[in-house]
Each structure stands twice: as C-alpha cells, then as structure tokens.
Amino acid sequence: MDTSSPLDRQAVHEELERARTTFHRLLDGASEANLRRLTEGTRWTNEQLLFHMLFGYILMRPLLVLLRIFGRLPRRVGRVFARLLDAGTKPFDVVNYLGPVGGARVIDAAAWRPPSTA
C-alpha cells in the first residue's frame, strides 16, 4: 500500500458499500439449511462466518480511532503495544473463533437484516 498518497475517502466509502451490499445479498439468498452448513476451510458454519464478517465491520470504526491515537504517540509506545498484542495472540485466536460461534447462537441471522422499508 502506498502510504505517501492521501486517503481516498470516496474509494473507501464505495468499497464499504460494496461489502455491505454483498453481505446482504449473501444473507438474503441463504436458506436456513445453508446458514447451518459447515464452511469450507474453517470449523464455522456459514452463519458463524457471516457473523464474524459482520462483527469485523462493526469493529472497524473503533479500530480506526485507536490507529489514529497510536499514530500520534511516540513510536516506542506503539512498539510496546505491538508486543502486548503479540503476547495475546493465542488467547485472541480462541476468542476470535468462539465469539462467532456464540454470537451466531445468541443473535439469529434474521436480526442482521435491516428493517423492511415496504
């Protein structure tokens, strides 16, 4: 990624909008049986994987704020924080896996759909 050029906010907005549209197309086209089916290459069901994707997009805004904060702090602070993150990789991996497993059970996929405007 070229960090010397300014952020193209419109391109970011368009990419997020494409992701939102694709997510809802996948969700709307999935039967209950397809949502419960295991994915290829993970231990999740399709519903759990979609929950993981949704939650990732929800977390983007706070993570961007955190990135801005650390971008203004001295580099050594960022390096210490990076070491803490590295040390927490194994517990994070467990939570990263189990979160969607539980989340998809607690919050049904029907609740992820926006309210009908009709």
Which region among 48-52, 54-58, 72-76 has the lowest average model confidence (pLDDT)?
54-58
Answer for the pair 28, 40: CB distance below 8 angstroms, yes or no.
no
Residue 75 within a domain: yes
Cα–Cα distance, 13 to 70 (Å, whole number): 23
Bridge partners of 6? none
Question: Whole-number mean pLDDT of the chain?
Answer: 84
Residue 38 within a domain: yes
Q: Residue 38: helix, strand or coil by DSSP?
A: strand
Residue 117 within a domain: no
More confident residue, 93 or 110: 93
Task: State the pTM of this model.
Answer: 0.70
pLDDT in tens, 82-102: 999 899 999 999 998 998 888
Number of domain units in the chain: 1
Range of the domain at 24: 9-112
Residue 4 within a domain: no
Taking residues 23-46, report their average pLDDT.
89
Residue 50 has pLDDT above 70, yes or no: yes
